[in-house]
Each structure stands twice: as C-alpha cells, then as structure tokens.
Amino acid sequence: MLLVLTWVLAAEPIRVGSSSMTPTLRDGDQVLLDKVTYRFRKPRVGELVVVQPPGGEPLAVKRVVAVAGSDVALEDGALIVDGVEQREPALDLAGVDGVYFGPAAVPDDTVFVLGDNRGESVDSRSYGPVPLADIVGRVVVRLWPPTRL
C-alpha cells in the first residue's frame, strides 16, 4: 500500500517516448519523476520536466529554458533569454539548425520548454509556454540505463 501511495503521490517511473531529448535522454530510457517538488516551488531554468502537451498528446520530457517574466528567442539556433545568449552544454549541436524564433514573452504561471535535440523536438516553439498546472513533475534520475542526470 505504501509503495502505491508513493507512486501515485510522490514519484513515478516514466519511459521516454521520443528522441527529442537526445543526447541527454534517449527514446526508451526510464526516468524517475518527482511529483512533489513543484508543490513547494516553481520550476527552474535547466531542469528537466515532464509536461502534458496540449491536445491530448502523450507526456513529454523537456528542458525549462525560460521562466515567467523572461523574453525568449532563438537566433540562428542560439537560445537568447532576456537579450543574453545562453550556454547550453546539454544541447545536441548536430541537431541545431539556423532556426529563428521570437522573441516571445513568457507569461505568469508558465515556463518555456525546449528539447535538447531541437531538430526533432515539438516544444514551446510549437505549442507556446507551458502552464505550471500542465507540469507533471521533475525528472530526478535516469533509472535505465543507470546513470545520473
């Protein structure tokens, strides 16, 4: 019973269902989802989150790149937040094209999310900033194959 309550209320294993987070996470990886942290604080830039995209799409793992009150843009593939180019060590540079986006304001109670494999990711560039209510939780560890994030 305690295991079931923990799974439902606090943590849950999730299977990554796309290549949008490569190289950080690959299709088929298993991660542990923390469902508690965001009850006490808002997501932070750089965190991996599981979101419920609009339109009934399957849950998706994405990276928070901007929070409410920020302006976000992509200029020739480079992420620009509040006018400053961001360093993105987890980004798959081979998957970045010369795309331009924005700038767009991130409204209150939302975050802007992108996949690390930008060429294969459907993310906030397509469906806009994600409401905090649509964030299921925070990815804390990769369970399989075993490693730390």
What tens digit of pLDDT does each residue of 15-28 get? 999 999 999 999 99
CATH superfamily to which 2-140 belongs: Umud Fragment, subunit A (2.10.109.10)
Instruction: State whether residue 138 is helix, strand or coil.
Output: strand
- When pLDDT is averaged across residues 40-51 and rounded to a whole number, the result is 96
Domain ranges of the chain: 2-140
CA distance between the termini of the chain: 29
Q: H/E element holding 113?
A: strand 110-114
Read off the pLDDT of each residue in 47-54 and give the average, rounded to a whole number.
Answer: 94
Could you report the per-residue pLDDT of 63-96, keeping only the tens digit for each? 999 999 999 999 988 999 999 999 998 886 666 7
Question: Per-residue pLDDT for 5 more than 50?
Answer: no
- Quickly tell me which residue has 């980004």 as its tokens: 91
- Separation of alpha carbons 139 and 56, rounded Å: 21
Buried b (16+ CB within 10 A) or exposed e, 60-83: bbbbbbbbbebebbbeebbbbbee
Average of pLDDT values for 20-49?
Answer: 94
- Residue 107 structure tokens: 């409204």
Per-residue confidence at 143, pLDDT binned at 50, 70, 90?
Answer: confident
d(CA 95, CA 73): 17
pLDDT score at 16:
93
Mean pLDDT (the chain, rounded): 89
124 as an active site residue: the answer is no
Model confidence at 148, pLDDT cuts 50, 70, 90, reads low
pLDDT of residue 91: 82
Catalytic residue among 19, 20, 121, 124: 20
Q: Which of 18, 23, 5 is nearest to 149 (CA)?
A: 23
